[in-house]
Structure 1
Amino acid sequence: MTGGGSAGHVTPNLALVPRLKELGYEIEYIGTKDGIERKIIEENHIKYHVISSGKLRRYFDVKNFTDPFKVIKGIWEAYEIIKKEKPNIVFSKGGFVAVPVVLGAYFNKIPVIAHESDITPGLANKLSSPYATKICVTFPEAAKKLNKNKAVLTGNPIRKELFEGSKIKGIKLCGFTESKPVIFVMGGSLGARAINDVLRRNLNVLLKTYNIIHICGKGNIEEKYIHNKDYKQFEYINEELPHMIAAADIVLSRAGANSIFEFLALKKPNLLIPLSAKSSRGDQILNAKSFEKSGYSLVLEEEKLEDRTLIEKINELYNNKENYIRNMENSKTGNGVEAIVGLIEKFSIK
């Protein structure tokens, strides 16, 4: 397996691991030395191989002149690892580390199954697609932008443990004493400053009505709120995440595909604040619009994010939460684990 750069390029891999192990597969992972994927994968006791990889950018940066050499080095390192380990198949979740691994597999004549979560394929998957055997997609729109002979609509793999959360445990972990509705706030694995700042500016108003669980990202804990009994902040949560989400009545989040499909599977009404087109390739905006159109999400554009609009949208979502739950219950989008594992089984070298 490979994928890295953010938790969104790692956690879908972990959703596949239990089922693959049931079928007798041994799992190994190729990632970068300092990427977030290393910590997550090693915590799950999966053998981890390190390669060099440069970041793939769509904008000018002086590192654009040096990173291609890191990618070339990474291709050689991945080739050598794959040649030595002799895997039956490689599964790639994208991110910049994936390109050297996919090419390393291709040169070793090892089949590759890739997965694209967003409506518009990321740069890594675009570069990898000629060398992949099949490319799994989550949105039907993504299939139209890829080789029609390779694209397969599978949905997103959802971790089994997310369905095993306990609302009571979540409340207890946070130490909430008042029985107010709970908002779960998540800005992605690295946090989201825009969301963090506007939320904290309005805590005095929001905490009159709600308890708040806030995943604020590494280094973003605010000391002055540590002892607040109605507002609990965490840099990152792993094992306790199912219980925290189970405790939530509504969710406030960015619009990364992995997260929003988890909210859909868990039937959690959500307010999405997608990354603006200024600071991304615009994929989160498209994801959010698709979910809004289907009636699964309420959307607030970052350009319109301010004190008043945040409070209004949160209250609107909570007051109409039953409508969103009903729409999500009627969704035909399922867990992609079985469909993806089926492709891995089909194309693995026997």
Structure 2
Amino acid sequence: MRVLISGGGTGGHIYPALSILKEVRRREPDSHFLYIGTEKGLEASIVPKTDVPFKTIDITGFKRKLSFDNVKTVLRFLRGVRRSKAYIRDFQPDIVIGTGGYVCGPVVFAAAKLGIPTLIHEQNVIPGLTNKFLARYTTAVATSFAGSLPYFKHENVKVTGNPRATEVREADPKEGRRSLNIPSDKKVILIVGGSRGAKAINQAFMDMVPRLQEMKDTHFVYVTGEVHYEEVQQTLRQFDLEDMPLTVKPFIYDLPHVLASTDLIVNRAGASFLAEITSLGIPSILVPSPYVTNNHQEKNARWLEKEGAAKVILEDELTGQSLYDMINQMMKNEEEQIDMKQAAQRLGKPLASSDIYEWMQRLIQS
């Protein structure tokens, strides 16, 4: 199979793309891949570290208000389409896939105009502008959550889940505990604000550190983000940590095993993260980032809350006291934990990569 894939800007678009390619290679080791991104996006540093060939186009997003910059964006889009067509004619893909971000616009549009089967994948509950635009032209639309379906008026749309969920489906909870030296009789509460950390979550958790020992039979795993680690360690020195049920890490590279051992998690509400926790059925307290495009993290979080799989605290409502109270209440209510776990599992799609691969095969054959 020859697969051209595009996704850029954030890890939430890039890692699902790489997960799809990983599944294709597992099924068909002789497959050939090409990844199209931008020079300035995160994909420019992530993809070249893999063995997937990487090409770039120049594209930016539209402003949400009238601006001369939008005229420049239209011109970049048209140039991006021309360059994408050149890449496509040279590579001769069987299928072209877009996993989100501005860069997908010209790439998938160009493929559709050349009559090549196209598939877009939407990670968030509320679709982004690029995927809303591309849905008019693409062969098929895949979504991570059923909550996205009403936004796509497409005859070939279905819920596949997020390919990132596949990465955690075989994780070993015992290995997660061993890696952090957590006793087997303790419930694990994981606090993490994404790969770079989240200052608001860090501050709230630091404020509740003196009360951690009040929560019996629990162990806290606190991932600060590498940029905040030294500052957090300096603050923690004021506490007596010898008997504190707390493990502090700047980053966890083997996160799936730790997630598999987690009983409750506090985190942002990025799409790939939600795919992982719903795949494992982890109850969550979500603190959506207010700094993302279209406020999609809050919309993701509210949908999980509506489905009974999560509780939400907005960043401007987050304090050490509010976080402690919510965690304490949830850990004392075992029935609620079970209900939230079951709700998360109902939303999870751990075989997403496999489902998408099989759908790709059908699109190519048709």
Tell me the equivalent position of 2:85.
79
Find 2:140's aligned residue among 92, 111, 134: 134
The answer on 1:340 being equivalent to 2:353 is no
Q: CA RMSD in A?
A: 3.1
Instruction: Give, in whole Å, the separation in 2 of the partners of 1:97 and 1:215.
Output: 31
CA 329–128 in structure 1, closer or farther in 2 if over 3 Å, else same? closer
Query: Which residue number corresponds to residue 322 of structure 2?
Result: 309
Equivalent residue, structure 2, for 1:27: 33
Which amino acid is the alignment partner of residue 17 of structure 2? Answer: N
Query: Which secondary structure state, in structure 1, belongs to the residue aligned with residue 322 of structure 2?
Result: helix
One-letter amino acid of the structure 1 residue matched with residue 49 of structure 2: E
Q: Structure 2 CA distance, aligned partners of 1:197 and 1:69? A: 44
For residues 189-233 of structure 1, what are the alpha-carbon distances to aligned partners after superposition, in whole Å with 9 as ceiling and x for unaligned? Answer: 454332233223333333664544344446333345188783323
Are 2:229 and 1:221 equivalent residues in the alignment? yes
Q: Summarize the Cα distance change of 1:253–1:78 in structure 2 as closer, same or farther, 3 Å threshold.
A: same
Q: Is contact 1:79-1:107 (8 Å) kept?
A: no
1:153 to 159, 165, 168: 159
Say which is worse superposed, 127-136 or 157-166, in terms of deviation. 157-166
TM-score by length of 1: 0.85
1:14 to 2, 14, 18: 18
Unmatched 5+ stretches in structure 2: none
Q: Quick one: distance in 2 between partners of 1:60 and 1:207? A: 54
Structure 1 distance, partners of 2:150, 2:284, is 27
Mapped partners of 1:217, 1:69: distance in 2: 38
Equivalent in the alignment of 2:299: 286
Counterpart Cα distance in 2 of 1:234 and 1:101: 36
Tell me if the contact between 1:271 and 1:317 (Cα under 8 Å) persists in the aligned partners.
no
Aligned counterpart in structure 2 of residue 257 of structure 1, from 271, 290, 309: 271
Map 1:52-131 to 2 at 5 A.
52-58=58-64, 64=70, 66-131=72-137
CA distance in 1, matches of 2:100, 2:57: 15
Selected match of 1:165 from 168, 171, 174 = 171
Aligned partner of 2:198 in structure 1 is 192
Summarize deviations over 1:240-260 as a string: whole Å, max 9, x none: 121221232211112223322
Aligned-partner Cα distance in 1 for 2:6–2:17:
8
Is the contact between residue 124 and residue 144 of structure 2 (CA under 8 Å) also seen in structure 1?
Answer: yes
Percent identity reads 27
Corresponding position: 1:323 with 2:343 = no
Give yes or no for contact 2:208–2:321 (8 Å, CA) kept in 1.
no
Q: Distance in 2 between matches of 1:218 and 1:75?
A: 38
Partner Cα distance (2:361, 2:250) in 1: 38
How far 1:176 sits from its partner (Å)? 5.4
Query: Deviation at 1:172?
Result: 4.1
CA positional deviation for 1:22: 3.6
Change (3 A) 1:208 1:50: farther
Q: SS of the counterpart of 1:105?
A: helix
Q: Does the CA-based 8 Å contact 1:4-1:36 persist in structure 2? A: yes
Aligned residues: 347
Give, in angstroms, the shift of residue 35 of structure 1.
2.0
**1:260-300 CA-partner distances (Å, limit 9, x unpaired):** 23211112111112234x75423333322222232211222
Alpha-carbon contact 1:6-1:189 (below 8 Å) kept: no
Give the distance between the partners of 1:36 and 1:331, measured in 2 at CA.
Answer: 28
Query: Alpha carbons of 1:59 and 1:142: their partners in 2 closer, same or farther (altered >3 Å)?
Result: same
Judge conservation of contact 2:168–2:279 (CA < 8 Å) in 1.
Answer: no
CA drift of 1:75 comes to 2.6
Give the partner amino acid of 1:184: L
CA distance in 1, matches of 2:322, 2:66: 34
User: What is residue 247 of structure 2 aligned with on the other side?
Assistant: 231
Cα distance between partner residues in 1 of 2:91 and 2:11 = 25
Aligned CA distance change for structure 1 residues 22 and 101 (closer, same or farther; 3 Å): same
C-alpha distance after superposition, 1:133-161 (max 9, x if no partner): 11112333422222232422323324434
1:128 CA displacement: 1.7
Task: Classify 1:198/1:68 alpha carbon distance in 2 versus 1 (closer, same or farther; 3 Å).
Answer: farther
Secondary structure of the equivalent of 1:91?
Answer: strand
Gaps of 5+ in 1: none
